[in-house]
Structure 1
């Protein structure tokens, strides 16, 4: 927890303030489009501010692994990454039919609530359509902030992978079959791991004028550990997002795969699913897989010649033990 509170927390607070200022500027620019856009931006500012700012913080942190202090270009790129991340979450919640996000209503549900009050026609469709447009707006304004040519190429490459990973995730939820371990890990890698860790770490190193290969590789394994822990938190979370959403949406996870390998018994509901996982030792098996990733990450970090080696190791440990 030390890393999150003392290091990431510091970067996150700076980015939260800078992002709010940027969105206020965009809000003023949007005045010409009418008063409703002002209400949309109020929702977006609140929605974005509730995030952890993990990705943007990692970008600033990565630059400081090789340079004394992050610069303005890094702050702009970090804000862009956070805005794009928020946009992807808005889209993801519509696809997954999620009700909650970041401790509040998902954005499309906020628009639906307004539609019910104002008696919109086709409230659900309108709420989802407005949320998708709001997500587009976040992506489009974010593009203004990526001013480094190599960084634009990196963002494009990694976010393309994210889109492909999301498509594979959707196909997995629709499939009656359980995917192989390699295929599930590839979804983790593309949908979450690379854009959550490899992208910001590589971007920060590039802005420091160094080769990003080592941190990019470590970032990918950190992202896989993050995703595995995220799957575990789906069983325990009491706030922020819907508990049991992976089970309800038929997600391809390591928990699902390992259970299928051990029994043909079909879970009747989410509680029964948890009972089966416990009974067949799946929780312990995934815990061991996370420990293996953690140990491998620490070995790679030990070989790095960077300014923030200890902090990076603390982050890896935090990923293993985080509660949200």
Structure 2
């Protein structure tokens, strides 16, 4: 970090939160301290657009609480880390952004210590669940102690609570849809995409920045709606990367969504096309590199990829206009546009 400007304040706040947790852990147990080390590593490598969006909103709306905005921005990033860690547990993944995640680190550590494979997997999963819990608790505590006026803190806690409920509902629906034989409709899949990502990644930072700036309820509501539009675009782009992306560049498996029958809009749309009987044979099992190329071709030929890409672009256009109305920089939208563009070239970026 080379600057102490406003843009770096959330990073500094996040570092303080992690240092505080690590110091408490060291007083408890060495293995617990390792858990905080793994948690800190899990926060690395992202684009930090969530705290940047919160701070940009606060500043654009004339806010005068940069320190509180930085604290809450860091809390949003820590909340994101908690969800990412738990999401990897749900999906049974041991890699994130091209390297071992929390469960992977502790699984390999257990293997090195002599545990058998099943025992090591259980230990890694346990560590990841606990690390996610710790991150979640630290995020909520940071909001409660951000030193904003009491009324603002109360509103922020309500926003975080709402985001938690919505995201949990989306994650549960994601898994439920993959195991329920009942066909998923396009509106159901789109709602799931909105719930999984929009609430905490976009609506929350936009509305939290507005609260800290003292914006009126109407402005907060409009920004919440804009966040939901942005979140859908982000999640749909992530779903595309989850099938068409290069794992070496995106850090995301290109077969996991197909293997676990994720009912993304991409697959739900494909189920409505004549090519679905052929595509279905590639879903719900491990795929070779050649098979992945084959199903990618089918999903492109049937129009499902183009359908999702068109939705992404439409949502980005709408969100860009809404943010411009409030004078909020559109850097997060440009990030999404970049993700979409590099996806076309097979060069994904982690976020």
Q: Would you say same fold, with TM above 0.5?
A: yes
Q: Deviation of residue 116 (structure 1)?
A: 0.4
Using a 3 Å threshold, how does the CA distance of structure 1 residues 173 and 258 change in structure 2: closer, same or farther? same
The more displaced of 257-266 and 105-114 is 257-266
Which among 272, 295, 307 is matched to residue 273 of structure 1? 295
Contact 1:178-1:252 within 8 A present in 2 as well: no
| Ranges in structure 2 where 5+ consecutive residues have no aligned partner | 145-152, 283-291, 340-347
What is the rounded CA distance, in whole Å, between the counterparts of 1:102 and 1:15 in structure 2? 21
Which among 234, 250, 263 is matched to residue 252 of structure 1? 263
Q: Deviation of residue 245 (structure 1)?
A: 2.0
Contact 1:162-1:192 within 8 A present in 2 as well: yes
Give the alignment's TM-score, normalised by structure 1.
Answer: 0.89
Using a 3 Å threshold, how does the CA distance of structure 1 residues 242 and 13 change in structure 2: closer, same or farther? farther
Q: Deviation of residue 90 (structure 1)?
A: 0.9
Q: Deviation of residue 110 (structure 1)?
A: 0.9
Q: Deviation of residue 60 (structure 1)?
A: 1.2
What is the rounded CA distance, in whole Å, between the counterparts of 1:73 and 1:196 in structure 2? 18
Matches within 5 A, 1:264-303: 264-267=276-279, 268-269=281-282, 270-302=292-324
Matches within 5 A, 1:42-53: 42-53=37-48
What is the rounded CA distance, in whole Å, between the counterparts of 1:22 and 1:321 in structure 2? 31
Tell me, yes or no, if structure 1 residue 208 matches structure 2 residue 213. yes
Give the 3-state SS of the residue equivalent to 2:226 in structure 1: helix
Q: Number of aligned pairs?
A: 310
Aligned match of 1:4: none
The more displaced of 152-161 and 24-33 is 24-33
Contact 1:64-1:307 within 8 A present in 2 as well: no
Aligned match of 1:318: 335
Aligned match of 1:146: 143
The more displaced of 105-114 and 256-265 is 256-265
Q: Please report the RMSD computed on the Cα atoms of aligned residues, expressed in angstroms.
A: 2.0
Segments ≥4 residues shifted beyond 4 Å = 10-13
Matches within 5 A, 1:66-145: 66-67=61-62, 71-120=66-115, 122-145=119-142
| Ranges in structure 1 where 5+ consecutive residues have no aligned partner | 1-9
Which among 168, 174, 187 is matched to residue 169 of structure 1? 174
